[in-house]
Amino acid sequence: MAPRLASAAPSPFRSREERERDREEKREAVLRAAVRMFNARGFHATSLDDVAASLGISKPTIYHYLGNKEQVLIECVTRGLELLSAAADTARAQPGDGLARLRSVLRSYALVMMDDFGRCVVRTGDEFLSPEGAALFRARKRAIDLSIRALIQDGIADGSIAPVDVRMTAFTLAGALNWPGRWHAPDGPLSPSEIADAMVDILIGGLAPRT
Amino acid sequence: MAPRLASAAPSPFRSREERERDREEKREAVLRAAVRMFNARGFHATSLDDVAASLGISKPTIYHYLGNKEQVLIECVTRGLELLSAAADTARAQPGDGLARLRSVLRSYALVMMDDFGRCVVRTGDEFLSPEGAALFRARKRAIDLSIRALIQDGIADGSIAPVDVRMTAFTLAGALNWPGRWHAPDGPLSPSEIADAMVDILIGGLAPRT
DNA sequence: TCTCCTATATACTCGTCGGTATATTGATTA
DNA sequence: TAATCAATATACCGACGAGTATATAGGAGA
C-alpha cells in the first residue's frame, strides 16, 4: 500500500500545539457538562461523579483538569461574567445616543442570561463560593453594573433618557433581565431573541423623556 | 402568704389551648430560624443540626415539630407564597383604575420580597424540592402570576395601561421585583419601602398610555 | 532503550448530615 | 396511682460525596 500524504491522513502522533488544543477542548467539555448539570440540579446536588459519568469518564480526570469542585464552578461563573462584560463593552462602544446604546446592551445582556454560562451566574449565589471566590465574583458584577449605570448617565446627559435615579434604575433593569436565567426553558415557544426584545421594550418604555 | 389572684400570677399549669399555642409558637420559632439560615447559607449548606444549635435545642426536636428537612423548607416557602398571594388579593380588591391597583400590588409584592419568607420563595429553585413539592410550588406561583396578568388586563380595558403583551409584561415586572430577594441587605441605607417605591415607579413608567 | 511525563482508571478514606432508636422527665388522664 | 402522652435529649446508623493514593499504559525526549 502506498504511503498516504500527511495532509490526507492525520498522523496519530500529536504535536505540542495539538496536544495543548486537545487538553483545552477536554477542559471545555467538562465545563459545559458541569454547567448544564449545575443549572439543572443545583451545585450542591450535583456530584462530580455525576458530571464525570455524563462524559463517560471518571472523577479523577476532572480533578486532573480542574483542581476541585469550587474551581469548576468558578470557571463556569467566570465564563458567564465574561460574556456579560463583553456584551456591555461592545454595545457601549457603538454609535447612537445613550438610550439606543442602553437598549443594545440590555438586549445582549438578556441573551447571555439564556445561555448556559450566563444562567450559571444568576443561579450561583455568593453562598456557594469561598470568601475569596465571592469577592472576585462581586467585583466583576459590580463592574458590569457600573457599565450600565454609565450608559444611563450618558443617556440622561444627551437627553435621550429622562432624569431618573441611576442606581435604582440599573438595579431594576438588571434584575428584570436576570430573571430569564431562572425560568427560561430552551424548548419554549418564544426564542431567546424574541424574549429579549419583548423585555427590553417593556423596560425601556418608561425611560424615554415624556414629550 | 396570701394566695394570688389567677390573673396576677399566671399559673405554671397550662391549659389545653395554652399548650397548643406554645406548640405553635415553637414551630414558628423553628421556621424563622431555619429560613434565616437557608437564606444566608443556602438550603443544602444548612444542616438541621445548625438550625437546632442556633435555637439551643437538638435535632430530634425539629423532627418532632416538622417531620423532615424538606418539610421545613416547604413550610417556609409556603409562608412566603401566602404573603405574596395576600398582597396580590388585597391590593386587587381596592378601588381605583387598573394602573393604580397594579401599582399597589407591585409595591406589596416588592415588600414581601424583602421579608425572610418572601426571600425564601425566590431563593428556592424547583431543584431543591421533590417533584410533588415542586408541582405545588409552581401551581401557587402560577396563581400569583395570573393575578398580576388579570390586573394588567383590567388596566388595558379601562384605558389606564397601554396595550402591551400581558404575559411578557407580567414576567418582566415580577422578575424585576424578585431581584431584591437576592441582593437586599436589611442594613442598607434605603428602607424596603423606599426601594419598593423606587422600583415600582421605574417599572410603571412605561405602562401608562402615551398621551 | 531507559526514563519521564501525561492521561486515565480503580479503589479507598473520611467527614458530614439526614434520619432514627431509645431513654428520660414530667404533666394529663383514667 | 398507674398508664399514657408530649417534649426533649443522647447516641447511633447508613449513605453520599469530596478528595486522594496508587497503578497503568503509552507517547516524548535524551
Give the CA-to-C1' distance from A58 to C3 in angstroms.
Answer: 28
The minimum CA-CA distance between B60 and chain A, rounded to whole Å, is 24
Q: pLDDT value at position A11?
A: 52
What's the pLDDT score for residue B206?
A: 80
Among candidates A42, A172, A179 on the partner chain, residue whose Cβ is nearest the Cβ of B128: A42
Specify the pLDDT at position B20.
79
- The single residue listed with the C-alpha cell 439551643 is B56
- At residue A48, the pLDDT reads 98
Nucleotides of D strand lying within 7 Å of any protein CB atom: 6-11, 16-22, 27-29
Nucleotides of chain C touched by protein CB (<7 A): 6-11, 16-22, 27-29
Q: Other CB atoms closer than 10 Å to residue A183's CB: what's the count?
A: 13
Q: Which long-range contacts (CB under 8 A, 24 or more apart) does B54-62 make?
A: B55/B29, B55/B30, B62/B30
pLDDT tens sequence across A20-41: 788 999 999 999 999 999 999 9
pLDDT for res B2: 39
Residues A27/A33, Cβ–Cβ less than 8 Å: no
pLDDT recorded at residue B1: 39
What gap in Å lies between CA B42 and CA A17, rounded to an integer? 43
DSSP state of B187: T
Q: What is the pLDDT of residues A153-168, one digit of tens each?
A: 999 999 999 999 999 9
Comparing CA positions, the residue from B172, B184, B75, B51 lying closest to residue B124 is B75
Tell me which residues of chain A have a pLDDT lower than 50: 1-9
Q: What is the pLDDT of residue B159?
A: 95
Q: Which of residues 17 through 56 in chain B touch A, CB cutoff 8 A? A: 40-42, 44-45
Closest nt by CA–C1' to B63: C19
The pLDDT value given to residue A133 = 94
What pLDDT does A14 receive? 60
For chain A, how long is the longest CA-to-CA vector? 81
What would you measure as the largest C-alpha separation in chain B, in angstroms? 81
Q: Report the gap between the CA of B14 and the closest CA in chain A (Å).
A: 43
Strand D reaches within 7 A of the A14 CB = yes
Q: Which of B's residues 22-61 have CB atoms within 7 A of nucleic strand C?
A: 45-49, 59-60
- A209 to chain B, closest Cα gap in Å: 10
Nearest nucleotide, CA B64 to C1': D7
- pLDDT score recorded for residue A9: 43
B27 touches strand D (CB under 7 A): no
Residue B151's nearest CA partner among B211, B87, B198 is B87
Identify whether the C-beta of residue A180 lies closer than 8 Å to the C-beta of residue A110.
yes
Q: Report which DSSP code applies to A107.
A: H
Q: Which of B 191-210 have CB under 7 A of nucleic chain C?
A: none
Nearest amino-acid residue to C21, taking CA and C1':
B60
Q: Please tell me the predicted confidence (pLDDT) of residue B113.
A: 98
Q: Which of A180, A198, A206 sits opposite B165 (nearest CB)?
A: A198
Reported pTM: 0.91
Question: What is the pLDDT tens value at each position of chain B, 211 positions in all?
Answer: 334 334 434 555 556 676 778 899 999 999 999 999 999 999 999 999 999 999 999 999 999 999 999 999 999 999 999 999 999 999 889 999 999 999 999 999 999 999 999 999 999 999 999 999 999 999 999 999 999 999 999 999 999 999 999 999 999 999 999 999 999 988 999 999 999 999 999 999 988 776 6
What integer pLDDT is reported at residue A21 of this predicted model? 85
Contact call for residues B186 and B119 (beta carbons, < 8 A): no
d(CA B118, CA B177) in angstroms, rounded, equals 11
Query: Which cell goes with B196?
Result: 419598593
- Whether B146 has its CB under 8 Å from any CB of chain A: the answer is no
Positive or negative, the CA dihedral B177, A202, A99, A101 is positive
Q: Distance (Å, rounded) from C-alpha B56 to C-alpha A11?
A: 68
pLDDT value of residue B52:
98
The confidence score (pLDDT) of residue B89 equals 94
Whether the CB of A199 is below 8 Å from some CB of chain B: the reply is yes
